[in-house]
Structure 1
Amino acid sequence: MQKEIELAIAPERIEDDNYILTQGSKALKINGERIKGFKIRKRSIDARSRHVVFRARIIFFIDEEPINEVFETNFHSVHDAQPVLIIGAGPAGLFAALQCLEKGLKPIIVERGKAVQDRRRDLAKLNREGIVDEDSNYCFGEGGAGTYSDGKLYTRSDKRGDVEKVLQLFVAHGANEDILVNARPHIGTNKLPHIIQDIRETIIAHGGEVIFEQRVVDITTENNQVTGVTLAGGRQLKANHVIVATGHSARDIFELFRTKNWLLEAKAFALGVRIEHPQEIIDQAQYHCEVRSEHLPPAYYSLVEQVNGRGVFSFCMCPGGVIAPCSTADNEIVVNGWSPSKRNNPHANSGTVIQINLEDVPGSESDPFALLNFQREIEKRAFEAGGGKMVAPAQRMIDFVEGRISKDLPDNSYKPGTVSADLTQVLPKFVYEALRGALPIFGKKMKGYYTNEAILVAVESRTSSPVRIPRDKLSLQHPEIKGLYPCAEGAGYAGGIISAAIDGMNCANAIN
């Protein structure tokens, strides 16, 4: 017999099996000898009171031995199978390829960037010298933007597909099993590269292919049916099915669609800044303590407020994290955040953004590039305000709200460097006014948040794609081109590693 109950467990006891068994027998009012084992199904931190606890949903096995569930894949050998071309080796492309293996289709991934380990040198150069490789950076390369931007696996995409399967596939390729039970699963930027490499090896071992450092410059068609792709060097790959999983920053793909006069749409996205605090401030606020317990992870937060009819919200919060330069060209500043698996850096950062709607930018209803051009202009302003070499414009929080240029800036994690600037000269007026209204309110919601020890770094602008590539809801194909599957973040249908992976799998499943 199995019984599932919820227990509140002190942080120092969450790894104590004997304690959990004892508490389970008390809650179930049965002799402890009858409990043969247990399995934590889900756990989360409850910090609503001064006594922080883990809330754990636990299955207890009574009068029967625990069942060790084994996740099994059903990958086929596809060396000679029907090919499916996948543009992009981010989570959408990789998981589309894994799903192709299950369906007996041969995935051929084409990635403009480098293999995951080879990306490190280009990222180091970007951080150290402010030099951007337009094909190998935080956005482009094996694993996509997710590989070197944290590996957060929290999602609300349950209705879109099988979240559990995605998590299990990560575990099968080396992720810690904790991601199966934690309410906010996280892998860490330091661990993801090896997992991504193992996924690639699975694809190749079963007959798939992965081609690096090759841009797709054309998608060929005949009578509105996909026939293949052309690479930058002139090489042509033939297939009747192409999954476009290029991510939110592959602007050249949008340009390709425009030159072919294929349907595109402007899409709302979010824009703002990345805000960084000392991690201890967040810990003290969220855990109601002076010093965080060694048994608790660095605290996170989620904040939202309406200002002037606009939602201002935190996004991609990184406890114990780092602010990273995520530009994909020399003349722009884009920032994002990531955390290592231990989340043991001294700072916490989060995007804090405002949604940019079609009505905010003239011409968006008729010009699918209007919001992208707006995004590009703000990124150029940030670059100019920073003075070059990926130095980012920044301001202390209270100085920003009260309209003062900061005399100096606090120590922060952004390696290319920050320079004191007036962020109202970078951000649109309706964005900085909404931020100025929200930040003091956030400070009332979370003690210590509103402080000049916090720094605002501009600009957080790649939260999602400002362009959508339309697709049919049932077939998932572009409405004008048969065999073309717009996919995940770059097409406007996902937002994060899990939802992108699910969308990749859904596109693979749509192929007959």
Structure 2
Amino acid sequence: MTTPQEVEVLLPAEVAYHEYARYRALLQAAGLQPGEADFVHLRKRSIDARGRQPLVRLRAAIYPGPPPADLFGPWFTYPDVSRARRSVLIVGAGPAGLFAALRCIELGLKPVVLERGKDVRTRRRDLAALNKDHIVNPDSNYCFGEGGAGTYSDGKLYTRSTKRGDVQRILRLLVQHGATPDILVDAHPHIGTNKLPSVVAALRDSVLAAGGEVRFDTRVDDLVLAENHLRGVITAAGEELTADAVILATGHSARDIYELLHRRGVLIEAKPFALGVRVEHPQQLIDQAQYRMRERGPLPAASYALVHQTQWQGRQRGVFSFCMCPGGFIVPAATAPGEVVVNGMSPSRRDSRFANSGIVTAIELEDMDLRQHGALAGLRLQQQIEQQACQVAGNTQLAPAQLLGDFLKKKSSGALLETSYQPGLVSVPMDEVLGAGLSERLRQGFRNFGQKIPGYATNAAQIVGVESRTSSPVRIPRDRDTLQHPEVHGLFPCGEGAGYAGGIVSAAMDGERCAEAAFAAVSC
């Protein structure tokens, strides 16, 4: 096998993003001339904007001969499990559920995936109705449907959960199913909401081709419980489905599932989460602040990550940016009529004129009314604020908004700025939605962020509410080793909805782990 020469360089953007100029620069770093290498494989790309001029750091492998055939692989193959003796019910077709299904197939188990929403293509009609007509379908929206919340919200693939699974394996699987190979290279990989649906459909096709099942419009309404053993589920249509194990991968917004578990006496726990607003700036303002250039040229739309520790009434809480979407859009993420929730998304090119990010503050257990609501305390707090946002904005999907400078001065905003939020905005003092405590923490955070990014905390930006679905407010406990619920045998809580993941890649890795745990349990 040909042994490559590894090189690492820092290049100006106009060189790094020009194919031939980049090729020449990498060869020069290796002491080679054009024609002395058969193939240059870019391994990693990141932007270093700390100096006066942003530079792009590249790491590459230069092959003097042909590269190995499995350069991006290995590709994964799946056996036929249509007649497998063991089956696993997987509730939810988000990244946790789909990757759990593929891993089950690799292990010889037949997965039966139950998705309350619609397939990824049909789901678009309900998103259009939500954006244009303010109609919320409780089973098909930005949170529910094939691919889960990430499919039509952004497609970010960056994760810090590198010890919970094989990140590169997940990325290779996504590339195998149609994602751009750039995700194997970029430091903060991103597919884009315009491209992720076809990848999700390809993942589903792999499940079906191997003999698994995927059922849409199939909401789980009850459990088949016998002596603390979960035998299966009962659907909204009244069908009873049984299997050797149940992987519960319903996502962070499946409130009816939390209510069902609570009602059936299955142990769940309140957990900390975060809540706040989405802030929207002109992308050009963020580009100029981050890159210190009038025009960013070939550089991608600039992003940011901000955090600040605040103090209010003797309690210290973090305020931080969440799901920052450069060149993106704000979208309505409600899952029931009578609530307003916002989220962010970016297309693959990140070419919108707007930048948006969640700016949220931590909600700890002592901030919740646990005495009255117990394990559902965080869920009730979410509902209360989302319903208030809907009421003050007119009981549609219009979202309450305020100019950021006015919010800091506790001043009502007259005219609002142009926005990427398609349903539209209503000028509302955000204190009326969030209350004094949350608003004060956010003000402290925004003031600090304004010191870090010039022009950030001014009326050039506006805040839109509410950003409340950052993560699940409920944890479904599981044994650390077996990944089964500690009291209900056969139940494998999984992904974001159970409190064990925080994004597409971490959810996918958790889905694989739960599939492996289910295999170990049913093989005993």
TM-score strictly above 0.5: yes
Quick one: distance in 2 between partners of 1:147 and 1:40? 27
User: What is the deviation of 1:204?
Assistant: 0.5
User: What is the deviation of 1:5?
Assistant: 2.6
Quick one: distance in 1 between partners of 2:27 and 2:201? 44
User: What is the deviation of 1:411?
Assistant: 0.4
From 293, 301, 304, the equivalent of 1:301 is: 304
In the alignment, what sits opposite 2:81?
78
User: Does residue 267 in structure 1 map to residue 268 in structure 2?
Assistant: no
In the alignment, what sits opposite 1:14?
16
User: Does residue 446 in structure 1 map to residue 453 in structure 2?
Assistant: yes
User: What is the deviation of 1:465?
Assistant: 0.5
In the alignment, what sits opposite 2:483?
476
Letter in 1 for 2:77: N
Quick one: distance in 2 between partners of 1:316 and 1:297? 17
Quick one: distance in 2 between partners of 1:131 and 1:29? 62
User: What is the deviation of 1:11?
Assistant: 1.7
User: Does residue 92 in structure 1 map to residue 96 in structure 2?
Assistant: yes
Quick one: distance in 1 between partners of 2:507 and 2:243? 23
**8 Å contact kept, 1:326–1:336:** yes
User: What is the deviation of 1:390?
Assistant: 0.8
Letter in 1 for 2:325: C
In the alignment, what sits opposite 1:436?
443
In the alignment, what sits opposite 1:278?
282
In the alignment, what sits opposite 2:391?
384
Letter in 1 for 2:160: R
Letter in 1 for 2:299: L
The alpha-carbon distance between structure 1 residues 91 and 302, as it changes in their structure 2 partners (threshold 3 A), is same
Quick one: distance in 2 between partners of 1:25 and 1:344? 32
User: What is the deviation of 1:370?
Assistant: 1.0
**8 Å contact kept, 1:493–1:503:** yes
Letter in 1 for 2:300: P
- 1:428 aligned counterpart, secondary structure: helix
Letter in 2 for 1:448: G
Letter in 1 for 2:301: P
CA deviation vs aligned residue, 1:333-382 (integer Å, no higher than 9, x gap): 11000011111111010000001000111326981011111111111111
The alpha-carbon distance between structure 1 residues 454 and 153, as it changes in their structure 2 partners (threshold 3 A), is same
The alpha-carbon distance between structure 1 residues 231 and 366, as it changes in their structure 2 partners (threshold 3 A), is closer
User: Does residue 408 in structure 1 map to residue 411 in structure 2?
Assistant: no
In the alignment, what sits opposite 1:167?
171
User: What is the deviation of 1:22?
Assistant: 3.8
User: What is the deviation of 1:21?
Assistant: 4.5
In the alignment, what sits opposite 1:65?
66
From 471, 492, 495, the equivalent of 2:499 is: 492
- 1:427 aligned counterpart, secondary structure: helix
- 2:75 aligned counterpart, secondary structure: coil
User: Does residue 41 in structure 1 map to residue 43 in structure 2?
Assistant: yes
The alpha-carbon distance between structure 1 residues 480 and 37, as it changes in their structure 2 partners (threshold 3 A), is same
User: Does residue 460 in structure 1 map to residue 467 in structure 2?
Assistant: yes
User: What is the deviation of 1:34?
Assistant: 4.6
User: Does residue 504 in structure 1 map to residue 511 in structure 2?
Assistant: yes
Gapped regions of structure 2 (runs ≥ 5): none
From 191, 196, 199, the equivalent of 2:195 is: 191
Aligned residue runs from structure 1 range 61-460, under 5 A: 61=63, 63-68=64-69, 69=71, 70-81=73-84, 82-293=86-297, 295-308=298-311, 309-363=316-370, 367-460=374-467
User: What is the deviation of 1:26?
Assistant: 3.8
CA deviation vs aligned residue, 1:416-436 (integer Å, no higher than 9, x gap): 111001111111322111111
**8 Å contact kept, 1:247–1:490:** yes
User: What is the deviation of 1:66?
Assistant: 2.4
**8 Å contact kept, 1:358–1:364:** no
- 2:163 aligned counterpart, secondary structure: helix
Quick one: distance in 2 between partners of 1:311 and 1:284? 27
**8 Å contact kept, 1:319–1:343:** yes
Quick one: distance in 1 between partners of 2:367 and 2:125? 39
**8 Å contact kept, 2:75–2:173:** no
Quick one: distance in 1 between partners of 2:411 and 2:355? 24
**8 Å contact kept, 1:276–1:454:** yes
Quick one: distance in 1 between partners of 2:241 and 2:458? 55
- 1:40 aligned counterpart, secondary structure: strand
**8 Å contact kept, 1:225–1:240:** no
**8 Å contact kept, 1:392–1:457:** yes
Quick one: distance in 2 between partners of 1:269 and 1:41? 35
Quick one: distance in 1 between partners of 2:330 and 2:20? 41
Quick one: distance in 2 between partners of 1:42 and 1:188? 19
The alpha-carbon distance between structure 1 residues 230 and 354, as it changes in their structure 2 partners (threshold 3 A), is same
Quick one: distance in 2 between partners of 1:15 and 1:138? 33
- 1:229 aligned counterpart, secondary structure: strand
The alpha-carbon distance between structure 1 residues 34 and 325, as it changes in their structure 2 partners (threshold 3 A), is same
TM-score (normalizing by structure 2): 0.95
User: What is the deviation of 1:17?
Assistant: 4.9
The alpha-carbon distance between structure 1 residues 18 and 191, as it changes in their structure 2 partners (threshold 3 A), is closer
- 1:277 aligned counterpart, secondary structure: strand
- 1:182 aligned counterpart, secondary structure: coil
**8 Å contact kept, 2:338–2:396:** no
**8 Å contact kept, 1:266–1:365:** no
**8 Å contact kept, 1:364–1:371:** no
Gapped regions of structure 1 (runs ≥ 5): none
Quick one: distance in 1 between partners of 2:158 and 2:412? 36
CA deviation vs aligned residue, 1:2-35 (integer Å, no higher than 9, x gap): 3323211222222445544443444344666654
- The root-mean-square deviation of aligned C-alpha atoms, in Å, is 1.5
**8 Å contact kept, 1:266–1:364:** no
**8 Å contact kept, 2:118–2:146:** yes
Quick one: distance in 2 between partners of 1:481 and 1:33? 64
Q: Which deviates more, 460-469 or 67-76? A: 67-76
Q: Percent identity at matched positions? A: 53
- 1:510 aligned counterpart, secondary structure: helix
User: What is the deviation of 1:397?
Assistant: 0.3
**8 Å contact kept, 1:21–1:35:** no
TM-score (normalizing by structure 1): 0.97
Quick one: distance in 2 between partners of 1:396 and 1:491? 36
